Structure 1
Amino acid sequence: MEENSKTRELRVLGVAELRALGHPLRMRIFDILSQHGPQTSSTLAELTGESSGSTSYHLRILAKQDLIREIPERSAGRERWWERPKGSTSFGDTEDTRTPAGRAALQAATAEFHRLRTDELIDFFTRRVYREPEEWREAASSYSTTAKMTPAQLTELGARISTLVTEAGERYRDQEGDDVRVVSIRADLFPLSPLGGAS
């Protein structure tokens, strides 16, 4: 899994970082900081429905792995502000993740990554879409199809989609305006299990 970018520095996460992100609340906090910018333990508590003591604890674990960092110039007294450093992260297939413990950490982080994104997708298209202004309802979309392809063809398609997604991210990531909102841009490309095969 990768937040893709050509110009942003790419960090391939190791087992310790993956273990940190394998926890549901830590992945949620990581996503909120990625999507909505700096937060405190108190604002994160409001957004997640957890106590500020709990969010503070999980923030420290994420910070220990350099997945997030404190913003000293914005922090004052007991109020500490946290942000996710700029750059892309990848749940890569590395030598460390090929061990049983590494594979378990990779699977846990991957499961949380996809669970959150699937929950967001279902929530929008089954509930929130009806409360959105018409222009946002019409702009939102979800596409799916199947095809019979070779690995080379799927790789080539992935590269084309990656270029398009990356260009949109770089162009609009820091855009401001009255009608600007954070949006999700995603694509999933993978082979299906053969009929009768292992799931």
Structure 2
Amino acid sequence: MNEPQDPDVRSLDARSLRGLAHPLRMRLLDALRFDGPATASRLAEKLGESSGATSYHLRQLAAHGFIEDAPERGKGRERWWRAAHQGLRFDDALLTDVNPEVRGAADTYLHEVATTQARDLSTWLGNRHAWPREWHRTWDMSSATLRLTPELTEELVEKMHALVETYRDRALDEDDPGAARVRIQTRTFPLPTE
């Protein structure tokens, strides 16, 4: 699939994938991408981890270029971090890399993404009662099973991504009181036949 190159989206390669494919690192990166700059101690409190663990994994993320210093936020000895990119692009070729460590990191990364997506949906389901009534009828958890070729499946995925992209330009300002961050998750995969 040829996707347009976005400077705010980082393409994962074998080296960077090995630096990211750890559950805590992925959670730290997501926290910085979605909630903005933070310190190791703030992230430790938010994620229920020790500040030593978050500090170590933040340094690893920085060494691989996923995060960077946010010096405009720091006061004194506090070290603030921010995400270096707002998105990640996964190359399926990593799953068939000749190096078994790369293949293992690719598997770890994809499984953690799937776990995070399931956790996000479960959290919404558990907390939906706390949202204003207008949000109660806007969410979706649907499924469709179609009989498609790999080519038609790829076309479907491309069209779904294109549709989502048309809403990026329409995204509302963070100051809009009626707006919230909305997570769109798609899953398209073949099912085994009996």
Same fold (TM over 0.5): yes
The 3 A distance-change label for structure 1 pair 141 and 7 is same
Matched ranges for 1:1-199 at <5 A: 6=4, 8-9=6-7, 10-94=9-93, 98-99=97-98, 100-125=100-125, 127-172=126-171, 175-195=174-194
User: Cα offset for 1:109?
Assistant: 1.0
Q: Following the alignment from structure 1 to structure 2, what is the Cα–Cα distance between the partners of residues 95 and 107?
A: 9
User: Cα offset for 1:16?
Assistant: 2.9
Normalising by structure 1, we get a TM-score of 0.85
The 3 A distance-change label for structure 1 pair 15 and 119 is same
The 3 A distance-change label for structure 1 pair 176 and 97 is farther
Q: Following the alignment from structure 2 to structure 1, what is the Cα–Cα distance between the partners of residues 172 and 20?
A: 23
Moved more, 145-154 or 92-101: 92-101
Kindly report the root-mean-square deviation, in angstroms, between the aligned alpha carbons of the 2 structures: 2.2
User: Cα offset for 1:132?
Assistant: 2.2
Normalising by structure 2, we get a TM-score of 0.87
Higher relative contact order (CA 8 A, sep 6+): 1
Q: How many residues align?
A: 190
The 3 A distance-change label for structure 1 pair 169 and 47 is farther
Once superposed, which parts of structure 1, at least 4 consecutive aligned residues long, lie more than 4 Å away? Answer: none
User: Cα offset for 1:32?
Assistant: 1.2
Structure 1 gaps of 5+ residues are: none
